Amino acid sequence: MRSTALLVDARFTAHVNGPGDPERVERIERLLRVAERPERDGIVRVAPRPALPEEILAVHAPEHYERVAASAGRPFTRFDPDTTACAASFDVARLAAGGVLEVVGTVLDGRAQNGVALVRPPGHHAESNAVMGFCLFNNVAIAAAWLRRRGVARVLIVDWDVHHGNGTQEIFWESPDVSFLSVHQHPLYPGTGLPTETGAGEGAGATLNVPLPAGCGDGEYVEVFERIVRPAADRFAPDFVLVSAGFDTHRDDPLGGMQVTGAGYRELTRILLEIADRHAGGSIVFVLEGGYDLDGLEEGVRAVLETLAAPTGTTVSAREVRGHETENKEEGT
C-alpha cells in the first residue's frame, strides 16, 4: 500500500461566490466528509499555509496579484461574469495555492509517495495576468514553478478537467521544462485548446491539446490516455507529475457534457500512476479543479484516492490493478 498526502480544509469554505454559482462551498463540505472517512489506509494528513507573495509572483504579474489583493475585506468584487470574490477570497486563494505546495512538498521530501490537494477556489483558468472562470490564482502552475525552483528538472501537468486549462497553457507556453497535456471538451468554455496550440519558442511542442466532442465516456478517455497522453508523457520523461483534476467530466455534471464514471477515473489514475512510476519515482499530486455535481465529485475523488493506494512496485501492471478491482467488486463495494 502506498502512502498518500491528503489535504482539505474547512477554511476553503470561506470563499463565497454569488448566489447560484456552481463553484460553491458545498463542494468542500462534501470533501471534508470524504476526507474524514477515506476508506483506505496510508493517508498522511497535510495542513495548508498561505502561499508567499513571491511564490504566487513566480507565475502571476504584480498587477494580477494586486487586483486579487484589492478584493480583500470588500463584501463583493466581480472580476468578470464568472469570477467573483468575497472579503475572505484573497486569503482563501493564498491558502489554496499554499496548500498545494504543502502537499507537493510532502511528496518531494518523501513523507508520502503521492498526494491529493482538495482546494478551492480552483486555478487552471487563471492566466499570468487574468482572473478567469472561477479562478483567482493558478494553483497547479504555482506548484510547477515551485518544483522547478526546488531543483526538479521536468514537470508534467496533465489536465483532465472538462474545460481547457487556458491559464496553465499560457503561463508555460514558452517553457521547455513544464509540459502541459490537456484533454477537454470542445467546443466549450473557454474556447481554447485546439490541437494546433503546441507552445512556442523553447516550449514549442511541450504543450499538447486533445479536444473531444461532448458525450465521451470511460472508453474514449482511456483510449486517449493510452494512445496520446501516455506516449507524449513518455517522450517528455517528467521528474514530477501534477494533475489538474476536474471532475466536471462526470456523467452527472451540470456544466460538462461528458460521461465519465468512477471506473473511468480509476483507469485514468492508474495510467498516470504508471507514468509517474516509470519516470518520476511515483511522484504525482492531484489538484482539484472543477466538478459541480456533489455525488459525482465524491465518486471521482474516492476513485483517485483508492487507486493511489496501489502497492508500490517497479511497475504496477494493469492486470494487478484490475485484479484488485475485481476483488473489491466481489466484496460488493
Question: Which residues contact Zn ion by CB under 5 A?
Answer: 161, 163, 246, 248, 290
**Residue closer to Zn ion (CB basis): 99 or 246:** 246
Residue with smallest beta-carbon separation from Zn ion: 290
CB of 217 to Zn ion, least distance (A): 17
CB 258 within 8 A of CB 185: yes
Residue of 146, 148, 159, 158 whose CA lies nearest to 101: 146
CB of 302 to Zn ion, least distance (A): 19
**Residue closer to Zn ion (CB basis): 248 or 306:** 248
Residues ≥6 apart with Cβ < 8 Å to 311: 1, 2, 320
- Annotated catalytic residue, options 60, 124, 125, 164: 125
**Residue closer to Zn ion (CB basis): 5 or 126:** 126
**Residue closer to Zn ion (CB basis): 193 or 246:** 246
CB of 39 to Zn ion, least distance (A): 26
Could you tell me if residue 191 is left (phi over 0), alpha (psi between -120 and 50 degrees) or otherwise beta? Answer: left
Helix axes 294-308, 26-36, angle to 10 degrees: 40
Residue 186 annotated as catalytic: no
Strand order in 207-212's β-sheet?
Answer: 43-45, 4-7, 114-117, 284-288, 240-245, 155-159, 178-185, 207-212
CB of 321 to Zn ion, least distance (A): 27
Residues acting as catalytic residues? 125
